[in-house]
Amino acid sequence: MSSAWIDLSNLKKPLKFNDFSVNFNTDLYNAKPLPSDIQKKLDERWNELLNDAKPGRILYNQSKFRLHSIETKTNDNDDSIQLILNLGLTDYKSFICTQQQSLPDDIRQHITEDHLSHPLGVGSLLITSDNYIVLIKRSSACIDLPNMYDIPGGHAEPRNLKTYSKENIIEEIISSTIAECVDETNVDRNSLLIDSFFFVIAVVRNQPQYGRPAIEFCLRTSMTSSELQQCYNLQTHMEAYETSEIKFWPIDKISDLLNSSQTLLSITPACHMYHLSTQYNKWLFTVEELKELRTKANNDYVQKKNSMNCLTVDEEAMVLRYYELQLKDFCDKFEPPMTKMAIAVCMQYFKRFYLNNSVMDYHPKDIYLICVYLTCKTEELRISITDFLSNIKNSTNIDQTADILLSYELLLIEKLNFQLVIHTAYRPFEGLIIDLKTHYLRDNVNDADRLRLTGYEFLDKTLLTDVYFLFPPSQIALTALLFASVKAAVHIDEYILKHIYGSLESAQMQKIKETIRLIANVVSTPAKFKKSEVKQIVEKLDKCYNMDNDPRSDEYKKKRLEQFQTLTDYEARNLP
């Protein structure tokens, strides 16, 4: 799965709001017509949506500009960039039918990139004078992304233009962006700093919606967040029916907003970059997929060695559990102390590595140390290799261990596909505790502290399970909070109902409750083993693992020497 949003423009710096151009050509940039039988089926689906729409549901068809592609040109004199949008025409019906709705394979297989609607959306990162980002919650009446937080936005409207001149289209894109801010938030138009702080920041495509495009702006208002809240509460704006709430997010906490593990808000991809993370796109699986990956890693090694004395998949799982406990214990005793988030990152590096590699190919006794060493770098735990090695109490050859760390570090990074950012549940859990203290436990700080300590116990247990491969961190954090409330006997039902479940529809609430139950079940039923049995399996591992990958072995040293010689020969032939 690819990242949810792709930045097409890759702008080095924001552009002035009117510093872009358009090429409009319906012959070149419109979507290709679909086969008549497929178009007929889509028309039928559209009519079904209209007929099945609930009272008050917002669904209608209007023409839109279609983004075919973009061009960027650099001015050689000052390195400034000119952004050009290649536009045709489409309509909202085509978008809903080809990109927003799930389609049966017998229809989807006939729809290519050239058939897709790709209506050009507009959005604005609206910032208040007291430095808050403005989010609006989309109404349940919206057919597209209902009940989700978003930045103000919509579409430029071709029907507003008498002629499709370049100047008119540019003006419509700009004016519609401003209008959406006003119509969705009730911000005073005169407060918008259009002349001094209005920029183009990106042109993006939403991959889950088959490349749906949008041009994103950044705009400031001279109003404070409280002033804007008061205006919004008047409900006098034109599109009040499209939103149900306005929310303000501190701009200095934008990294938390852009990180799925930092917030429990249901946010659209335009402002919620969790779906951009490799954790979401590359490292979330089903239980069956995890089993298949581990079985494949085991089978690949067995076939390569062609031996009957290899470990089974279940035996590998027991070995990994044994070394996970050793790794957790090593991290808990590490000096200087590692944060809980750093320990969680380290544990996930270890788990990710052995999702696609067998313990027989790379011995865990080495890999778990490399995971800690790499975590010290990625989590900015500044420590010299000498101080790191002082934490290894049972090493008989410190110099050899140092060589192993240095020789295996790049291997670990490669096996992790260079995807080193790990989103843990500790930070969103801390956010929940802070929110609780603010809204509900203001006079019972001790209760909040008890929840924190008990919740951490739950989160620590998750590190020895597959829960991070199965669920987003925010859901794990919520489960930890509910677990802590029961165990610590702190009643937070009112907070959960009002602040967590309050804005959800019944089906969404039931889905979250089921997810919480599944997470709790995974954490409460960890794999168990007998120490004597594991000891026998570890001894078996020592007899069947790949010596070619053991930095202590003559085979490994010979292989590294051959690689070095090959590189040296290449340099001798090709470098001046």
Answer whether residue 560 is part of any domain.
no
For position 192, what pLDDT does the model report?
94
For position 551, what pLDDT does the model report?
78
Percent helix, strand, coil in the chain, to 5, is 55, 15, 35
Tokens of 133: 């980002």
- Residue 147, judged by CB atoms within 10 A of its CB (0-12, 13-18, 19+), counts as middle
Which residues, 6+ apart, have CB-to-CB distance to 390 below 8 Å?
A: 335
Question: Do 203 and 313 fall within a single domain?
Answer: no
Range of the domain at 438: 425-524
220 beta partners: 127
Torsion-angle region of 191 (φ positive above 0: left; ψ -120 to 50: alpha; else: beta): alpha
Q: What is the pTM of this model?
A: 0.56
Residue 71's SS3 state is strand
Question: Do 376 and 463 fall within a single domain?
Answer: no
Answer whether residue 82 is part of any domain.
yes
CA-to-CA distance for 348 and 368, rounded, in angstroms? 11
| Residue tagged 């279940």 (tokens) | 314
What is the DSSP annotation of 43-60? HHHHHHHHHHPPTT-B--
15 beta partners: 200
Question: Do 394 and 429 fall within a single domain?
Answer: no
**pLDDT tens digit sequence for 347-403:** 999 999 999 999 999 999 989 999 999 999 988 888 888 899 899 887 777 888 888
For position 272, what pLDDT does the model report?
46
Tell me, what CATH number does 254's domain have? 3.90.79.10
Contact assessment for residue 71 and residue 189, using Cβ atoms and an 8 Å cutoff: no
Torsion-angle region of 107 (φ positive above 0: left; ψ -120 to 50: alpha; else: beta): alpha
Question: Do 215 and 328 fall within a single domain?
Answer: no
Residue-level length of the chain: 576
For position 261, what pLDDT does the model report?
41
CA-to-CA distance for 240 and 235, rounded, in angstroms? 6
- Spell out where 33-142 has E strands: 63-74, 81-91, 121-127, 132-138
Question: Do 367 and 507 fall within a single domain?
Answer: no
Tokens of 567: 């590189």
For position 264, what pLDDT does the model report?
44
Question: Do 412 and 434 fall within a single domain?
Answer: no
Answer whether residue 344 is part of any domain.
yes
Question: Do 263 and 335 fall within a single domain?
Answer: no
Query: Is the Cα dihedral 256, 258, 259, 260 positive or negative?
Result: positive
Question: Do 429 and 491 fall within a single domain?
Answer: yes
For position 262, what pLDDT does the model report?
42
Provide the greatest CA pair distance for the chain.
82
Please report, as a single letter, which amino acid is at residue 318.
M
Domain finish residue from 242, 271, 300: 271
Q: Which of 323, 320, 347 is nearest to 468 (CA)?
A: 347
CA-to-CA distance for 454 and 429, rounded, in angstroms? 11
Question: Do 75 and 177 fall within a single domain?
Answer: yes
Answer whether residue 553 is part of any domain.
no
Answer whether residue 155 is part of any domain.
yes
Tell me, what CATH number does 368's domain have? 1.10.472.10
Residues of the chain predicted below pLDDT 70: 1-10, 12, 53-59, 76-80, 100-102, 141, 143-144, 207-208, 253-276, 438-439, 441-443, 445, 502-505, 560, 563-576
Contact assessment for residue 458 and residue 523, using Cβ atoms and an 8 Å cutoff: yes
Answer whether residue 534 is part of any domain.
no
Question: Do 114 and 70 fall within a single domain?
Answer: yes
Query: Is the Cα dihedral 345, 348, 353, 359 positive or negative?
Result: positive
Domain finish residue from 214, 242, 271: 271
Answer whether residue 3 is part of any domain.
no
Question: Do 444 and 318 fall within a single domain?
Answer: no
Question: Which string of b and e fits 357-379 if b means at least 16 CB within 10 Å?
Answer: bbbbbbbbbbbbbbbbbbbbeeb
Number of domains in the chain: 3
Answer whether residue 342 is part of any domain.
yes
Element (H, E) at 389: helix 385-389
Question: Do 96 and 217 fall within a single domain?
Answer: yes
Which residues, 6+ apart, have CB-to-CB distance to 243 below 8 Å?
A: 136, 137, 138, 139, 184, 185
Domain finish residue from 494, 524, 554: 524
